[in-house]
Structure 1
Amino acid sequence: MPGAMLGLLGGGQLGRMFVMAAHSMGYRVTVLDPSIDCPAGCIADRFICADYTDRNTLHELGSTCAGITTEFENIPAESLRILAEYCFVSPDARCVSITQDRILEKQFLVANGFSVAPFLVIQNPDELSITQYSDLFPGILKVSRFGYDGKGQIRVNTQAELNTAFADLNNKSCVLERLMPLVCEISVIVARGVDDELRLFPVAENQHDHGILDISIIPARISRDIAQKAQEIAIRVAEKLNYRGVLCVEFFILENDQLLINEIAPRPHNSGHYTIDACITSQFEQQVRTLCGIPLGSTSMHSAAVMVNLLGDLWQKNEPNWKQVLQYSSTKLHLYGKREARPRRKMGHYTVLDTTTETALQQALKIKHSLNPNPSLDN
């Protein structure tokens, strides 16, 4: 119940928004992160700056918290197993170990009958000479672990390019996926409680720029049948994983309306930030609720929404002119408190609320252009 101390592994912007949601409900939060100036650590009730594998730190965290969650999937699964000896941990070590490794994730999806893009696993340079990959060109080579926001991914069109790309990724285990003819990309966020209670958020339509989410449009401009099918698949994924917490399933929609699962994120997701302003319950409050074993909140939207990411590129010379955002009464600005703005780094986002997705999108693009008048950066 409110008043308890919750633990959070990871201090980035997702963690910061979790802390805010927990505080609004009366909970306290201890954040563990190896970075001294992490966004979530700055507002936590208690901050521990240490490595995720430090045994003494894990003992301290586990023995002082009523429940522990994560803000990203690259937490060592063994650390979650250790913490589970002290208190409830969500997501658990098994789910994280699967979703933090592209190879294990693909194998899990295929084994459970889910559709994915054609792929092959490449684990060492010798396999490049003994296996034919021509059926997967043009393709994208993705490092198996620790790749995100377009990092650790290289497009390849020929065997020679594949050989070079694998070397550029330091010969680490990879997945080679065939590039598919996409109509659009969508994502579904589902929350599953300890009592199997389920709540689905409206489907988001996502546009990317160089592998980084740029714009999310909600509700997605797709048919009701496709949206319902995507939500049903997301529920099945959560159930097959026996997942507890907030989970995001990203999809490709092909020209024949076929749905392919792209990735699974065992946490709140960038494409779900709109829920803070447009839904009765945000994905972060839902994360608190699933962790604490209390009934899940309503996911109904009260407005259509368009969310736009703010990357460090906007800070090239000076702080962006936030009047371009704040002058609109139905637009919400969220900055993450990061001290250093770097190119392609997520520094914040804004969400435009309106009665329709079309009018919200028009306003969002107008603001986007005013912040950076380079038309090539707009979708």
Structure 2
Amino acid sequence: MTPLPPGSTIGILGGGQLGRMLALAAARLGFDVAILEPEENSPAARVAAHAIVGAYDDARALTALAEISDVITFEFENVPALAVERLIALGAHVAPNARALAVAQDRVEEKTFLNSAGVPTVAFAKADTPDEAAEALHVIGAPALMKTRRDGYDGKGQKWVEHASTAQAVFAALGGKPVIVEAPADFVRELSVIAARGAGGEIAVYPLSENHHEAGVLRRTVAPAEVPQETADQAERIAAQILTSLDYVGVIGIELFEHADGRLLVNEIAPRVHNTGHWTQDGCEVDQFEQHIRAVAGWPLGPTHATSRVEMVNLLGEEALAWAHLAGEPDARLHLYGKRDAKPGRKMGHVNRRRPLASSGHSHRSE
């Protein structure tokens, strides 16, 4: 791919906070951004050069986006596959590719792909009917985690099955939709790695982060995580296997379970910039948002080593109303998303608190 010159237009499907931060990063590199989003006055649209209001499967809106954009990307993985297919049919260049999107949209496809790429996960089984759900519990064993195959996010669309006898009832409680049944992950902590692959196949990996959740929602990330070199190397190998197997271009988020013996299992992948990578905005020379823009535009990837230790805290609902206090903290960097309604549990922003770097963070680049 020939690198896009400044002044080119990058299209983004989605107008939320990730689209907003991508648009800001693109603007810093001299690009214009076009946002396609169903809702008017979205957070991303207010900082973009062009805003197209329409459903993601609206042929008119997709045509308008394809005509104005030199490359198109997306801020979340639940964009309809049909939308990407239509954009490609219109001659648009889309990155990451349609396969990455399809794999990430279906939890069974995701884990099947990961295992085929040599990446370890928990044991799993699929179930499309109540009887299959009961059978899956007998195969996996109880307790087990049952999740809808599609559309779950921030802990939604999943329930624990404590006894095999309740499998059918839990299947019904999840809407009677196709599910995946997963064995419990006996992990000591959750880590994640943000990585990127450029148009020429080069790979750049950020230091690992340690993540803490509440009620299924990410509350806090600390990075670089304190890990042995062997763990960092393991995460880099996993990231490289996934990126290469998908022929991926862009930034990807990979959630990991760390076991007591040091083994890493992949929980899930997100073919986009990721909440656990927000620390890079104030802890790295090139953050995940600029890195994604560089990758999809065919530019060289930037450095990924940590320049500061960062604690990232998500601001949910009315917590963002403390902006004046947070802005007054000398070591804090406040990032607000421009959302109008501070609904309970809604991600309204985040704050990065910087600390001195105790030791050099791990980063890796390969050709």
TM-score range, shorter chain: over 0.9
1:93-112 to 2 correspondence within 5 Å? Answer: 93-112=98-117
Pick from 129, 138, 149 the counterpart of residue 133 of structure 1: 138
Q: Which moved more, 1:119-128 or 1:22-31?
A: 119-128
The Cα of 1:324 is off from its aligned counterpart by 3.2
Pick from 144, 162, 177 the counterpart of residue 157 of structure 1: 162
Pick from 132, 136, 149 the counterpart of residue 144 of structure 1: 149
Count of matched residue pairs: 354
Amino acid at match of 1:210: A
The TM-score normalised by the length of structure 1 is 0.90
Tell me the residue number matched to 2:44.
Answer: 40
Amino acid at match of 2:213: H
Amino acid at match of 1:266: P
2:231 matches 1:230: no
CA contact (8 A) 2:118 2:241 kept: no
Tell me the residue number matched to 1:308.
Answer: 313
Amino acid at match of 2:119: F
Tell me the residue number matched to 1:21.
Answer: 25
1:213-228 to 2 correspondence within 5 Å? Answer: 213-228=218-233
Q: CA 1:131 to 1:292, structure 2 compared with 1: closer, same or farther past 3 Å?
A: closer
Separation in structure 2 between the aligned mates of residue 146 and residue 264 of structure 1, nearest angstrom: 14
The Cα of 1:181 is off from its aligned counterpart by 1.8
Q: Which moved more, 1:188-197 or 1:124-133?
A: 124-133
1:303-342 to 2 correspondence within 5 Å? Answer: 303-312=308-317, 314=318, 320-342=321-343
Q: Bigger relative contact order, structure 1 or 2, given CA contacts below 8 A and separation 6+?
A: 2
Cα deviation digits, residues 38-66 of structure 1 (max 9, x gap) = 21122211111101111122111112110
3-state DSSP of counterpart to 2:46: coil
Separation in structure 1 between the aligned mates of residue 145 and residue 137 of structure 2, nearest angstrom: 15
Separation in structure 1 between the aligned mates of residue 141 and residue 44 of structure 2, nearest angstrom: 41
CA contact (8 A) 1:305 1:357 kept: no
Q: Which moved more, 1:112-121 or 1:155-164?
A: 155-164
1:238-277 to 2 correspondence within 5 Å? Answer: 238-277=243-282
Tell me the residue number matched to 2:187.
Answer: 182
Amino acid at match of 2:279: Y
Pick from 8, 15, 28 the counterpart of residue 4 of structure 1: 8
Separation in structure 2 between the aligned mates of residue 163 and residue 254 of structure 1, nearest angstrom: 30
2:355 matches 1:351: no
Cα deviation digits, residues 291-344 of structure 1 (max 9, x gap) = 1111111112211111011111x35xxx63334322221210111111112222
Tell me the residue number matched to 2:365.
Answer: none
Cα deviation digits, residues 259-280 of structure 1 (max 9, x gap) = 1110010000000001111110
Tell me the residue number matched to 1:69.
Answer: 73
The Cα of 1:29 is off from its aligned counterpart by 0.6
Separation in structure 1 between the aligned mates of residue 155 and residue 140 of structure 2, nearest angstrom: 23
Percent of aligned pairs sharing the same letter: 40
2:208 matches 1:203: yes
The TM-score normalised by the length of structure 2 is 0.92
Cα deviation digits, residues 128-182 of structure 1 (max 9, x gap) = 3455437432221111111111111112211244322211111111111122221
CA contact (8 A) 1:134 1:159 kept: no
